[in-house]
């Protein structure tokens, strides 16, 4: 799937593109069916909500689950990003976020590249998020919120929040969020005639199978999920190969260390069998838990 000139222009301006119902319910079925068993596993790669059993994020499923390994190579996800970067991609991070009914906690306002820079020493913002909805996303079950155009600010000030949720995140303070929202069109509301005005926060919603591409500097967040409806979504964080991380401060299941370019599968890969590598099928290797604060020189990594 390639982007049109108008889509590229929109992405540049807004920092995201939304593709409602890009995948069919049949294509989503095997992915959805796999999630409960993956979430049941008592493994380091399942991060649970603070003080709860519900899974907040499952990391690295493309390395041990066949349906997700195929999704990670899907041309509808990989090609548009290759097209935007003009370069091959590797998988920097792969997660299945639960945002489970009644239990799903907030994601504070943040930029993903802020974390990838501060923690992983990713040199530039040439990395992209691709989200796929496994459940319908509506107004109520904690949809993602974006501040359109906020990616144009580059990396903004952030603080390392280790306490709000179970997952450490570099977060943006409320004052700066207020300024960015004003700059983007201000409070979403209504004029005297009841017409909607103000586009400072947007929130793409749609059926399971919808896809969002969003810039790694786009400021985003989501509220908690107080509804009886799960909001499971998959996030691929795709990095240009030349922009690979330079530090392994975080375990490998969170920030991957294999910079091999992704090779796409055929477009029907979610409906048919195609062989895929599942290197962590029999468990997480001990090396995936090893971390270091050392900067890794690219020459050494190539050796
Ligand atoms: C994220 O920002 O990485 C996840 C946000 C969400 O799932 O709502
Ligand atoms: Mn994020």
**What pLDDT, in 10s, does the model give residues 8-18?**
999 999 999 99
CB 146, CB 228: distance < 8 Å:
no
Asked whether the predicted pLDDT for residue 302 surpasses 90, the reply is: no
Report residue 62: phi and psi, to 5°: -65, -10
What are the boundaries of each domain within the chain? Answer: 5-300
Q: Which atom of ligand 1 is nearest to the CA of 143?
A: 8
**pTM to 2 decimals?**
0.95
Asked whether the predicted pLDDT for residue 129 surpasses 70, the reply is: yes
CATH H-level, domain 5-300: superfamily: q2cbj1_9rhob like domain (2.60.120.620)
CB 229, CB 214: distance < 8 Å:
no
Residue 103: how many other CB atoms lie within 10 Å: 18
pLDDT of residue 1: 83
Q: Which atom of ligand 1 is nearest to the CA of 233?
A: 7
Residue 79 to residue 76: CA distance in whole angstroms: 6
pLDDT of residue 34: 98
Q: Which atom of ligand 1 is nearest to the CA of 110?
A: 2
**Whole-number percent of the chain with pLDDT over 90:** 92
Residue 196: how many other CB atoms lie within 10 Å: 9
Question: For residue 219, how far is its CA from the centre of ligand 2 (angstroms)?
Answer: 8
Residue 220 to residue 7: CA distance in whole angstroms: 20
Question: Which are the contacts of 235, defined by CB distance < 8 A and separation ≥ 6?
Answer: 93, 94, 95, 96, 97, 129, 130, 131
pLDDT of residue 301: 57
**Residue nearest ligand 1's atom 7 by CA:** 97
Tell which residue, 71, 88, 82, has the closest CA to residue 1. 82
**Nearest ligand atom owner, CA of 107:** 1
- Ligand 1: residue of 220, 221, 223 to mutate (most ligand atoms within 8 A of CB) is 220
Q: If you average pLDDT over residues 72-95, what whole number do you get?
A: 97
pLDDT of residue 138: 98
- Residue 84 region, left (φ>0) first, then alpha (ψ -120 to 50), else beta? alpha
Residue 47 to residue 58: CA distance in whole angstroms: 6
pLDDT of residue 299: 62
Residue 74: how many other CB atoms lie within 10 Å: 24
Question: For residue 205, how far is its CA from the centre of ligand 1 (angstroms)?
Answer: 14
Asked whether the predicted pLDDT for residue 37 surpasses 90, the reply is: yes
**What digits encode the pLDDT tens for the residues 162-202?**
998 998 889 999 999 999 999 999 999 999 999 989 999 99
Token pair 């906020």 in the structure block, residue: 150
**Nearest ligand atom owner, CA of 254:** 1
Asked whether the predicted pLDDT for residue 303 surpasses 50, the reply is: no
Residue 77 to residue 130: CA distance in whole angstroms: 7
pLDDT of residue 298: 66
Confidence tier at 296 by pLDDT (50, 70, 90)? confident
- Ligand 1: residue of 235, 238, 250 to mutate (most ligand atoms within 8 A of CB) is 235
**Nearest ligand atom owner, CA of 114:** 2
Q: Which atom of ligand 1 is nearest to the CA of 142?
A: 8
Q: Ligand 1 pocket: which residues have CB below 6 Å?
A: 97, 99, 107, 144, 220, 222, 233, 235
Residue 189 to residue 144: CA distance in whole angstroms: 18
Q: Which atom of ligand 1 is nearest to the CA of 97?
A: 7
Q: If you average pLDDT over residues 230-248, what whole number do you get?
A: 97
Give a three-class secondary structure readout of 57-115.
Answer: EEECHHHCCHHHHHHCCCHHHHHHHHHHHCCCEEEEEEEEECCCCCCCCCEEEECHHHH
């Amino acid at each position: 799937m390639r982007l049109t000139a108008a889509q590229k222009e929109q992405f540049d301006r807004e920092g995201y593109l939304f593709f409602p119902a890009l995948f069919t319910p049949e294509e989503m079925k095997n992915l959805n069916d796999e999630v409960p068993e993956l979430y049941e596993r008592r493994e380091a790669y399942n991060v649970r909500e603070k003080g709860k059993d519900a899974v907040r994020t499952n990391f690295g499923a493309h390395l041990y689950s066949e349906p997700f390994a195929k999704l990670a190579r899907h041309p509808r996800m990989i090609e548009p990003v290759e097209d935007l970067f003009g370069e091959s991609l590797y998988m920097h991070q792969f997660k299945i976020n639960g945002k489970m009914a009644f239990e799903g906690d907030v994601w504070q306002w943040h930029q993903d590249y802020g974390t990838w820079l501060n923690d992983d020493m990713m040199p530039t913002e040439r990395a992209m998020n691709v989200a796929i909805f496994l459940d319908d996303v509506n107004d109520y079950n904690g949809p993602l919120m974006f501040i359109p155009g906020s990616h144009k600010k580059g990396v903004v000030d952030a603080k390392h929040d280790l306490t709000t949720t179970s997952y450490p995140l570099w977060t943006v303070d409320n004052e700066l969020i207020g300024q960015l929202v004003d700059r983007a069109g201000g409070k979403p509301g209504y004029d005297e005639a009841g017409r909607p005005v103000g586009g400072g926060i947007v929130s793409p919603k749609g059926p399971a199978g919808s896809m969002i591409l969003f810039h790694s500097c786009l400021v985003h967040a989501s509220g908690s999920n107080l509804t009886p409806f799960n909001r499971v979504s998959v996030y691929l964080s795709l990095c240009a190969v030349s922009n690979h991380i330079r530090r392994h401060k975080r375990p490998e299941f969170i920030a991957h260390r294999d910079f091999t370019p992704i090779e796409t599968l055929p477009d029907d890969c979610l409906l048919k069998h195609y062989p895929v590598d599942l290197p962590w099928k029999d468990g997480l290797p001990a090396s995936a838990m090893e971390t270091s604060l050392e900067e890794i020189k690219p020459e050494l990594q190539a050796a």
